[in-house]
Amino acid sequence: MPSRRRTLLKVIILGDSGVGKTSLMNQYVNKKFSNQYKATIGADFLTKEVQFEDRLFTLQIWDTAGQERFQSLGVAFYRGADCCVLVYDVNSMKSFDNLNNWREEFLIQASPSDPENFPFVVIGNKVDVDGGNSRVVSEKKARAWCASKGNIPYYETSAKEGINVEEAFQCIAKDALKSGEEEEIYLPDTIDVGSSNQPRSTGCEC
Amino acid sequence: MQEPELHDLSDDADYAASQQHGSASMMRSDSGKHSSSSEHDGAEVVYLKDNVTIHPTQFASERISGRLRLIKQGSSLFMTWIPYKGQNSNARLTERDRNLYTIRAVPLTEVRSIRRHTPALGWQYIIVVLSTGLAFPPLYFYNGGVKEFLATIKQHVFIVRSADDANVFLVNDFQNPLQRTLSSLELPRALSVANGQSTSVSVGETSSDENQERTSGDVYEGSISSSQYNERQRQRVHDPARDLSIQVLEKFSLVTKFARETTSQLFRDNHSNGYGAIERRSNNLSPIDYPQKASNDSNKVPDKSPVPPDSLEFDKVSLVWGKPRQAPLGSDEWKTFLDYEGRIMDSEALRKRIFYGGVEHELRKEVWPFLLGYHAYDSTEAEREYLRAVKKSEFETIKKQWQSISPEQAKRFTKFRERKGLIEKDVVRTDRSLSFYDGDDNPNVNLLRDILLTYSFYNFDLGYCQGMSDLLSPILFVMEDESDTFWCFVSLMERLGPNFNRDQNGMHSQLFAITKLVELLDIPLHNHFTQHDCLNYFFCFRWVLIQFKREFEFDKTMRLWEVLWAHYPSEHLHLYVCVAILKRHRSKIIGEQMDFDTLLKFINELSGHIDLDAVVRDAEALCICAGENGAACIPPGTPPSLPVDDYGLLLYPQQELDDVL
């Protein structure tokens, strides 16, 4: 029997190139910010243990390339997602306008069972830039869009300064947890060679 | 002559493979002209190992143990293996067997090669192939000692590691090691030994034209006809899984099989390695530790290590690699490739030279334009100077196209603004840790931007795509001149442009080719990927898109690129590099049953931990092993091939692509 039971929660971060997806992920998981991030090629993910009501969960956060041209790859990475984070740069109208594309593209490629109620979280990043003077997307405008898409939770963050990042991801984790059926998996510390270590759903453990 | 010359062949596939020239000369291996074991006057035993054992049948319980010795007499070295008396493990093995297998003093001058097997689990063994083509049965070293055995030989005899199989050591004959090993493609001859000596079950099938030279007399004459042997042989012949002849009825499967076998020796070849890896897992190593850990392991004695070292890393001591990497091409040597007007006289020799050693950094500026195709190999110095001048002005013209866009115009030119924005975002995060690109307002970063923007006008359809800045950065670093850099980049993009196509066609065809190559070269790994839903090979996406730029340090990347651009031995060597890296980690991937996510993470974290020379060497070997069948895995028009025509990729079965991707 598994000594510990955890739940894997898969989160996908989407948004235009350069809005700060990698930075947000690293700020949340590693509490670090670097000016030397490179443009993400392909995809990568980080994991973080989170605790909710005495239960341990593994948050698996996927960071993908932001250029539209790579969107066709999404199909390989989006499947099984429990929550999708849409990120834009508050200093770039284009990145905000594109949120709708990202949302729709995600729903097409991930094809969740209940697209209407699939949890998204929107993050407006880079609020620190130029003391907010270069900001072009108002909070009001962003919240209005979120409301129109089924009350998507909205956070404004600075991955650089670590502002509001923890809070945003708390919400992301919570929403991921609520999302549809939980996929309980057994992540053993040591693997029994004779048996498969494939994820099993709770349904199988009767 | 009483000695039965035929030994029962193990059904070990490698053994069969090593038998290339098979039977024709079974008779003469130790037919009396060598001294018997008791006649070593003035001889010195330079190596002695007890409990060296043969398994005459497929059953490990049936074995004959003996003592292996290397004996030096005068300037000659002999090998003997004498079974112990009365210690046969099984009553079925008779005294006759003992005599049958005894290796009387064989001079090393008559040994062509020694194939070493150091499996992860189980015993190490060697197969000694004589220059006549005869091979002795595998000698299992129950107490280890293969390494010392080879090292001892090396002290006395000229021995060299085969270029295309690191576990094959060629003795005496290394004039053309490649040809030698490739000749083992002619497997049927080897099989005819196995089949011929027993019943006629599959002789008819295998004695096609390839082994006409084998006369049945060779096989049967003077050899055992004992029913015991026939019986034993029949067991194997009737076991379909073990009947090699089934697999070699046609040339294709034959070559495929050879490729697999050869490469499975190149790399640790069984999944059982993974068990060790799993044990180690309890140490809670972070993934980033794995590569280092693995290389640390290679210093240990293989049979004591829970995860045996990669066979390629094994015994770094002294044995010479078949084709070691060379020192980079320097300017003196470079001049020898040029005629008095500056033409490159033998471009193939140059490319080969660069493949094996790369180019000294100071010389890259001169050499890269040839490799990339900006300069023609047969152009004269004067012609190149002229071309550069013409191209410089052409570059300036294109550059002006975007430079002349006024702010007012830009306001109404969304595509331009977006493109510029994307490029600006990326150049400031390209190799900024390099002093060449670091700091605020670095002029080289601006050059990157200008060149990429100019390129996006030169090739407006393709435009700018992420990854291009990674490809451009080393070129600017080497060429320095803006126009030269631009045109070198243009040449590179002629080949790699399809990587960035909107439909991702170029990427898909390369990833698909890797799928096929792994299927060809490593069935168990392929099966693993199939079972774990990894066949899209997206975990290789970054490798392929930007030619491993993110996987190596900057200077290593430049070295790898010039090696790849040499287009030797294949234009698509980068695909074999992918396979080589995967193969290096196959036991971990399979043993830990990595699923897609885990694999992607693992691959991403290999970055900075890949041994460049080793994987290039592996890739070369894989490419040679795969031969035409490897080339057949790579559809026409697959980058970096120059496009043959606009519809090159349409030759590609789209249906098949869709199935996989």
Q: What pLDDT is attached to residue B64?
A: 83
The backbone region for B74, taken as left when phi is positive above 0, alpha when psi lies in -120 to 50, beta otherwise, is: left
For residue A57, tell me if it sits in a domain.
yes
* Average pLDDT across chain B, whole number: 74
CB B583 within 8 A of CB B606: no
Q: What is the pLDDT of residue B366?
A: 98
Q: State the Cα–Cα distance between residues B537 and B516, nearest whole angstrom.
A: 11
ipTM of the complex: 0.85
Model confidence band, residue B324 (pLDDT cutoffs 50, 70, 90): confident
- Distance (Å) from the C-alpha of residue A130 to the closest C-alpha of chain B? 17
- Same domain for B87 and B199, yes or no, is yes
pLDDT of B439 reads 93
Helix (H, G, I), strand (E, B) or coil at B273: helix
The per-residue pLDDT for B107 is 87
CB-CB neighbours of B121 under 10 Å: 12
Residues B458 and B548 in one domain: no
Number of domains in chain B: 3
Give yes or no for residue B11 having a pLDDT over 50: no
The sign of the dihedral angle between the CA atoms of A107, A113, A114, A119 is: negative
Q: Is B439 in the same domain as B588?
A: no
Contact B538 A35 (CB under 8 A): no
**Where do the H-state alpha helices sit in chain A?**
21-30, 74-78, 93-97, 99-110, 139-148, 165-178
B622 and B488 part of one domain: no
Select from B446, B479, B499 the last residue of a domain.
B499
Residue B385 tokens, joined: 């100077």
Give the whole-angstrom CA distance, residue B26 versus residue B18.
14
Q: What confidence category does residue B42 fall into, taking pLDDT thresholds of 50, 70 and 90?
A: confident
Instruction: Pick the residue from chain B with its C-alpha nearest to A19.
Output: B425
CB pairs under 8 A between A and B: 84
Domain CATH code at residue A78:
3.40.50.300
Strands laid side by side in the B76-83 sheet: B103-107, B76-83, B64-73, B44-54, B139-141, B124-130, B111-117, B168-171, B159-161
**B574 and B513 in a common domain:** yes
| Count of domains observed in chain A | 1
One-letter amino acid at A48 equals K
Residue A190 touches partner B, C-beta closer than 8 Å? yes
Q: How confident is the model at residue B412 (pLDDT cuts 50, 70, 90)?
A: very high
Measured in angstroms, the CA of B429 and the nearest CA of chain A are apart by 5
Q: Return d(Cα B476, Cα B22) in angstroms, integer.
A: 56
The answer to the question of residue A115 being in a domain is yes
pTM as predicted? 0.64
CA-to-CA distance for A78 and B314, rounded, in angstroms?
Answer: 41
Residue A125's domain spans which residues?
6-189
Count other Cβ atoms within 10 Å, centred on residue B376.
15
Q: Which of B425, B433, B546 lies nearest to residue A18, judging by beta carbons?
A: B425
| B593:A196 CB<8 A | yes
Helix, coil or strand: residue A39: coil
Radius of gyration of chain B (CA): 29
Pairwise CA distance, residues B188 & B24, whole Å: 12
Please check whether residues B142 and B102 belong to one and the same domain: yes
To 5 degrees, how large is the angle CA B39–CA B40–CA B45? 145
B612 plus B493 within the same structural domain:
no
SS3 A85: strand
Identify the CATH number of the domain in which residue B419 sits. Answer: 1.10.8.270
Residues B492 and B510 both lie in one domain:
no
Q: For B281, which of A69, A191, A198 is closest by C-beta distance?
A: A191
Residues B60 and B192 in one domain: yes
Cβ neighbours, 10 Å, residue A195: 8
- Does residue A201 form part of some domain? no
Q: Check pLDDT > 50 for residue B291.
A: no
Measured from the Cβ of residue B483, the count of other Cβ atoms closer than 10 Å reads 19
β strands within B267-382, DSSP E: none
- Is A125 among the domain residues? yes
B110 pLDDT tier (thresholds 50, 70, 90):
confident
Q: How far is B37 from chain A (nearest CA, A)?
A: 48
Q: Is residue A1 part of a domain?
A: no
User: A39 and B550 in contact by Cβ < 8 A?
Assistant: no
State whether B77 and B193 are in the same domain: yes
Shortest CA gap A63–chain B (Å): 12
The answer on B214 and B101 residing in a single domain is yes
Residue B651's domain comprises: 503-660
Residues of B in contact with A37 (CB under 8 A): 429
In a domain, A206, yes or no: no
User: Does A199 reside within a domain?
Assistant: no
| Residue contact B542–A41, C-beta within 8 A | yes
Query: Residues of chain A whose pLDDT is less than 50?
Result: 1-4, 180-206
Q: Please check whether residues B457 and B559 belong to one and the same domain.
A: no
Residue A198 counted as domain residue: no
A195 touches chain B (CB under 8 A): no
